[in-house]
């Protein structure tokens, strides 16, 4: 027990002041620590225990994209931890009128204890982090969505217990949600099957990195254009919208390309009987997922959405 306690203390010291831009920057042990911390904070909250560990601290939240779960969970999380969250629309900031990202980062460092940003470009977020002396947390970019993946794994952990050895099937677009989800699952030693239509595959460089991480943890990552192959024997089935923000002009073409990738009763019948269905939300019902599945007894999408709060709180407490 003493060894575990000391390890936890070491982990917390090592995370303080860090950025969270991608889960590739974190070890499997660090992610496990964050998940356990989120689980403990959730249980404490249900008992009415909310330690004010961020009292007097302020999180700046920059949004280039619309948000429901990210904004609310971070804002509520800061309040519950005793701190304050400040909403900042990028269009209303000087960065929206041409101030450099580096200058913005240096200025924000003078006022804030941390920055969460939901942005169009991952490269811009990386640049901001390079010039900001306080932790920068990626609330979503075009390539990664790490905080969502933490909430996803927390949900799997609650429902299934141990994640090691479980099969996770991701069906749909090889997008930012998929990138972070697969990397996170690889860290946990899961067997991941990514099912995408041809032309919408998972990023090949990230796939190789995820495969290396998975192999080191006793798991695996494979990719297929056959959704039935991906779903067969799955413990967890996950999907996302076929057309993400900024891709609206591609919507008609994507509806055609993805038509065989809908999570419906026929496809899901190939998964294990006790499978769990996950979706990061918002969902386009009867598009990427049938209503019978998302509202069915194996769906945990709202528990998953609720876990954004607890995953966020763990990240905030550890980094800030």
92 carries an active-site annotation? no
Q: Are 304 and 155 contacting, i.e. CB atoms less than 8 angstroms apart?
A: yes
Q: Cα(162)–Cα(305) distance, rounded to whole angstroms?
A: 20
pTM of the model: 0.94
Nearest to residue 140, comparing CAs of 151, 132, 153?
Answer: 151
Tens of pLDDT along the chain (320 residues)? 334 455 676 677 789 999 999 999 999 999 999 999 999 999 999 999 999 999 999 999 999 999 999 999 999 999 999 999 999 998 889 886 789 999 999 999 999 999 999 999 999 999 999 999 999 999 999 999 999 999 999 999 999 999 999 999 999 999 999 999 999 999 999 999 999 999 999 999 999 999 999 999 999 999 999 999 999 999 999 999 998 766 777 889 999 999 999 999 999 999 999 999 999 999 999 999 999 999 999 999 999 999 999 999 999 999 99
Q: Is the peptide bond before 192 cis (omega within 30 degrees of 0)?
A: no
- The binding site comprises 67-70, 94, 118, 145-148, 176, 240, 244-245, 280-281, 308
Helix ranges, the chain (H): 2-15, 28-46, 69-80, 101-111, 122-130, 146-160, 176-187, 204-216, 227-231, 251-257, 265-268, 291-294, 301-319
Q: Which of 118, 122, 279, 310 is catalytic?
A: 118
118 included as an active-site residue? yes
């Amino acid at each position: 027990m003493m060894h575990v306690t000391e390890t936890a203390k070491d982990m917390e010291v090592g995370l303080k002041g860090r950025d969270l831009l991608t889960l590739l920057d974190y070890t499997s042990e660090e992610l496990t620590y964050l998940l356990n911390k989120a689980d403990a904070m959730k249980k404490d909250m249900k008992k009415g225990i909310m330690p004010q560990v961020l009292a007097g601290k302020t999180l700046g939240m920059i949004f280039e994209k619309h948000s429901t779960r990210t904004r609310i969970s971070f804002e509520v999380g800061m309040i519950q931890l005793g701190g304050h969250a400040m909403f900042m629309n990028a269009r209303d900031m000087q960065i929206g009128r041409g101030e450099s990202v580096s200058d913005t980062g240096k200025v924000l460092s003078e006022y804030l204890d941390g920055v969460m940003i939901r942005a169009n470009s991952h490269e811009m977020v990386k640049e901001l982090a390079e010039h900001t002396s306080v932790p920068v947390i990626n609330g979503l970019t075009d390539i990664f969505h790490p905080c969502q993946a933490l909430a996803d794994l927390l949900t799997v952990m609650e429902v299934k217990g141990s994640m090691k050895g479980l099969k996770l099937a991701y069906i749909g677009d090889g997008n930012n949600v998929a990138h972070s989800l697969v990397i996170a699952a690889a860290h946990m030693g899961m067997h991941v099957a990514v099912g995408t239509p041809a032309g919408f595959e998972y990023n090949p460089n990230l796939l190789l990195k995820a495969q290396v991480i998975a192999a080191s943890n006793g798991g695996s990552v494979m990719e297929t254009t056959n959704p039935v192959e991906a779903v067969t024997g799955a413990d967890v089935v996950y999907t996302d919208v076929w057309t993400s923000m900024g891709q609206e002009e591609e919507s008609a073409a994507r509806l055609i390309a993805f038509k065989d990738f809908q999570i419906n009763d026929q496809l899901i019948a190939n998964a294990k009987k006790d499978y769990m269905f996950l979706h990061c939300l918002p969902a386009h019902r009867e598009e990427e997922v049938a209503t019978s599945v998302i509202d069915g007894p194996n769906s945990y999408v709202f528990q998953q959405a609720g876990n954004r709060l607890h995953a966020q709180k763990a990240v905030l407490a550890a980094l800030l």
